[in-house]
């Protein structure tokens, strides 16, 4: 049995090679895959989020940690799916129509994945129709809309309006974020939550899930 | 004092009759003259008209050829998404240097050959002809980190900084050589100030910034200054942890986004370093009132001290009310 603290350290330090090796070793030794996620990977990504928020970690460090975590998750996911384990929640995420700037969306998606959510990443420049289709086909609980430009912020409103018209708005909680987005704007367009950074987006998603399942 | 005299006096540390005004306008200037942004970014005559009319309307002390980050990348053949009425964007999923080996095959683009770089050079020429006596004419180039991310993809570049720093340095070196050429062509047409935009630098944190990015910014700035013009360094985003390094690049003007308090920049730099910024473009300007703008400006001045030029954290957003 490998020293699982090394999995925590590898994710925290962005060492994908080690995180994958330890994960493989642990799974081969019969460790419950959910234990690896809950006891080591989620706490490591929580710490990454904390370091990011207090500006000890920056975008490169966060992306490296996310890459290490994803390497391990690739080994773990099929095992969880095979035994029917459900994630904390299913998130559909993308930058809204007209916006190709995706690094903020990628940071949030990675942190949510690190928080135990299944993340369905629709990429950049995503139409309202694609968000709606993903909600309908992926059994999502949360939709995250990202925009970096003031000129693409109106696409957030039109996406939410289109979701209402398609009858899927009330099936999900909607989170919005991006440099020019404000909590006031989020409220105006009828979103359920706003976060100004990737780390607090995880706390927001957890709260929205808790509210929905209460 | 005309605008040019006002800015130059500020940069020499002399007193001015009023605070110099250098807010960035792009989509705002296009809207002001009723032109879609695609026309503004592709036809230098439209850009110049927008800049001249905006500067006249609001009594700005400068005009600028800034428009979007995709000019150099377009000329190199990068995939770019065009929109009718917003800036073009580089398609990262089809990055030009997706394969690192491509870097060795890239020649430096010629800013005098037909293309988007030449269009900016022509914009500078027209602005200098029409306003060069009275106003500062600003040319624009991408900084090393921004240009590298335009060519390699921002997400990939963030990994490269750890996975292959030697490649990153080669890419930054290429960017600097390209941008010095681009600046040279704009200076030849009458630019009196070159803006260097390096937004991606705000993402990397102080360790990587100081080790890899700042030395190349410093080299770019010094080589442009050697052409006999002034340089402004503009980095969007939160630069609080790298602001000291920014101040050590040697740029004549340090232009800061609203996320970095001017008081922190001032504490990290000499009292003489000219700071530009950093009114919150959305909250204080677009969504603000004349009173809130005045209050924000007073706060900027209080924090920056006399070596200060008025601007917003980034471009004046489209839709900002015109009340005077």
Give the contacts of A77 (CB within 8 A, at least 6 positions apart).
Answer: none
pLDDT for A150 equals 86
Q: How confident is the model at residue B151 (pLDDT cuts 50, 70, 90)?
A: very high
pLDDT for B324 equals 57
pLDDT for B59 equals 97
pLDDT tens digit sequence for B263-278? 999 999 999 999 999 9
A124: closest CA of chain B, how far (Å): 9
Which residues in chain A have their CB less than 8 angstroms from residue B281's CB? 150, 180
Q: What is the CA radius of gyration of chain A?
A: 17
B165 CB within 8 Å of a chain A CB = no
- Domain boundaries A5-82, CATH class: mainly alpha
Which candidate from B81, B158, B317 shows the least CB-CB separation from A100?
A: B81
CA distances, A148 to each of A21, A93, A204, B89 (Å): 37, 14, 20, 12
Q: Is the ipTM of this complex over 0.85?
A: yes
Query: In residues, how long is chain A?
Result: 214
- Residues B116-139 as b or e (16 or more Cβ within 10 Å = b): bbbbbbbbbbbbbebbbeebbbbb
DSSP SS3 for B234: strand
Measured between alpha carbons, how far is B183 from B26 in angstroms, rounded to an integer?
Answer: 20
Q: Which residues of chain A have pLDDT under 70?
A: none
Cβ of A103 within 8 Å of Cβ of B154? The answer is: yes
Residue A9 per-residue DSSP state: H
B264: closest CA of chain A, how far (Å): 15
Q: Are B91 and B80 in contact (CB under 8 A)?
A: yes
Tokens of B136: 């500062």
Give the contacts of B34 (CB within 8 A, at least 6 positions apart).
Answer: none
Same topology between domain A5-82 and domain A90-213: no
B39: closest CA of chain A, how far (Å): 16
pLDDT for B104 equals 97
pLDDT tens digit sequence for B119-145? 999 999 999 999 999 999 999 999 999
Which B residues, 68 through 87, put their C-beta within 8 Å of a C-beta on chain A? 81, 83, 85-87
Q: Hey, which residues does A145 pair with through a beta bridge?
A: A94, A176
Which residues in chain B have their CB less than 8 angstroms from residue A57's CB? 205
pLDDT for A205 equals 96
pLDDT tens digit sequence for B176-227? 999 999 999 999 999 999 999 999 999 999 999 999 999 999 999 999 999 9
Q: How confident is the model at residue B4 (pLDDT cuts 50, 70, 90)?
A: very high
Q: How confident is the model at residue B298 (pLDDT cuts 50, 70, 90)?
A: very high
Measured between alpha carbons, how far is A146 from A128 in angstroms, rounded to an integer?
Answer: 13
Cβ of B205 within 8 Å of Cβ of A57? The answer is: yes
Pairing outcome for strands B230-235 and B253-256: parallel
Q: Hey, which residues does B308 pair with through a beta bridge?
A: B275
Question: Does domain B18-312 fall into CATH 3.90.550.10?
Answer: no
Cβ of B317 within 8 Å of Cβ of A150? The answer is: yes
Q: Are B158 and A63 in contact (CB under 8 A)?
A: yes
B313 CB within 8 Å of a chain A CB = no
B36, B69, B282, best to mutate vs chain A, most A CBs in 10 Å: B282
Give the number of other CB atoms < 10 A from CB of residue B233.
26
A157 alpha carbon, distance to own chain's centre: 21
Q: How many alpha carbons fall within 13 Å on the CB side of residue A180?
A: 23
Which B residues, 178 through 237, put their C-beta within 8 Å of a C-beta on chain A? 203-205, 208, 237
Q: Which CATH superfamily is domain A90-213 in?
A: Cobalamin-binding domain (3.40.50.280)
Handedness of CA B7, B9, B13, B16 (dihedral sign): negative
Measured between alpha carbons, how far is B151 from B178 in angstroms, rounded to an integer?
Answer: 12
Q: Hey, which residues does B275 pair with through a beta bridge?
A: B254, B308
Which residues in chain B have their CB less than 8 angstroms from residue A61's CB? 205
pLDDT tens digit sequence for B49-82? 999 999 999 999 999 999 999 999 999 999 999 9
Please give the angle made by the CA atoms of B123, B127 and B131, to the nearest 5 degrees.
180
Q: In terms of Cα–Cα distance, which of A88, A84, A46, A43 is closest to A210?
A: A88
Q: How confident is the model at residue B242 (pLDDT cuts 50, 70, 90)?
A: very high
Q: What is the distance in angstroms between the CA of the first residue and the CA of the last residue of chain A?
A: 38
Cβ of B81 within 8 Å of Cβ of A152? The answer is: no
Which stretches of A13-134 are assigned E, i.e. beta strand?
90-95, 118-121
Which candidate from A61, A102, A151 shows the least CB-CB separation from B27?
A: A151
* pLDDT reading at B3 higher than 90: yes
B41, B70, B82, B92, best to mutate vs chain A, most A CBs in 10 Å: B92
Which candidate from B86, B159, B237 shows the least CB-CB separation from A64?
A: B159
């Amino acid at each position: 049995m490998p020293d699982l603290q090394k999995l925590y350290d590898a994710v925290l330090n962005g060492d994908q090679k080690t995180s994958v090796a330890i994960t493989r070793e642990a799974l081969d030794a019969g460790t419950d895959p959910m234990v690896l996620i809950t006891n080591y990977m989620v706490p490591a990504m929580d710490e990454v989020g904390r370091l990011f928020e207090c500006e000890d970690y920056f975008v490169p460090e966060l992306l490296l940690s996310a890459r290490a975590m994803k390497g391990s998750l690739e080994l773990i996911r099929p095992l969880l799916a095979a035994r029917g384990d459900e994630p904390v929640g299913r998130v559909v995420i993308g930058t809204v129509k007209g916006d190709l700037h995706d690094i903020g969306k990628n940071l949030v998606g990675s942190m949510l994945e690190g928080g135990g959510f299944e993340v369905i990443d629709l990429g950049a420049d995503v139409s309202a129709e694609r968000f709606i289709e993903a909600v309908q086909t992926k059994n999502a609980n949360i939709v995250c809309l990202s925009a970096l430009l003031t000129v693409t912020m109106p696409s957030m409103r039109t996406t939410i309006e289109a979701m209402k018209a398609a009858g899927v708005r009330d099936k999900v909680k909607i989170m919005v974020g991006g440099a020019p987005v404000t909590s006031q704007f989020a409220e105006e367009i009828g979103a359920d939550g706003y976060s100004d950074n990737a780390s607090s987006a995880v706390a927001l998603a957890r709260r929205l899930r808790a509210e929905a399942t209460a | 004092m005309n605008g040019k005299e006002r800015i130059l006096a500020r940069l020499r540390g002399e007193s001015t009759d009023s605070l110099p005004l250098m807010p960035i306008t792009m989509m705002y200037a296009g809207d002001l003259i009723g032109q879609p942004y695609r026309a503004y970014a592709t036809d230098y005559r439209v850009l110049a008209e927008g800049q001249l009319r905006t500067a006249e309307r609001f009594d700005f002390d400068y005009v600028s050829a800034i428009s979007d980050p995709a000019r150099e990348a377009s000329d190199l053949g990068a995939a770019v998404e065009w929109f009718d009425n917003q800036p073009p964007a580089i398609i990262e999923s089809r990055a030009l240097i997706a394969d690192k080996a491509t870097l060795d095959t890239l020649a430096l683009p010629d800013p005098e050959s037909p293309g988007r770089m030449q269009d900016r050079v022509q914009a500078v020429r027209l602005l200098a002809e029409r306003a060069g006596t009275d106003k500062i004419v600003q040319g624009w180039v991408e900084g090393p980190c921004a240009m590298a991310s335009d060519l390699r993809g921002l997400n990939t570049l963030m990994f490269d900084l750890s996975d292959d720093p030697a490649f990153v340095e080669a890419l930054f070196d290429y960017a600097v050589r390209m941008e010095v050429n681009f600046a040279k062509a704009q200076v030849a047409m009458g630019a009196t100030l070159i803006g260097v935009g390096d937004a991606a630098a705000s993402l990397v944190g102080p360790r990587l910034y100081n080790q890899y990015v700042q030395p190349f910014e410093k080299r770019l700035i010094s080589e442009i200054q050697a052409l006999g013009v002034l340089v402004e360094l503009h980095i969007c985003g939160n630069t609080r942890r790298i602001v000291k390094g920014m101040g050590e690049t040697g740029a004549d003007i340090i232009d800061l986004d609203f996320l970095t308090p001017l008081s922190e920049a001032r504490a990290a730099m000499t009292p003489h370093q000219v700071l530009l910024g950093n009114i919150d473009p959305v909250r204080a300007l677009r969504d603000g009132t004349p009173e809130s703008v005045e209050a924000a400006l007073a706060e900027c001045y209080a924090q920056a001290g006399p070596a200060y030029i008025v601007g917003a954290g980034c471009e004046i957003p489209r839709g900002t009310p015109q009340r005077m």
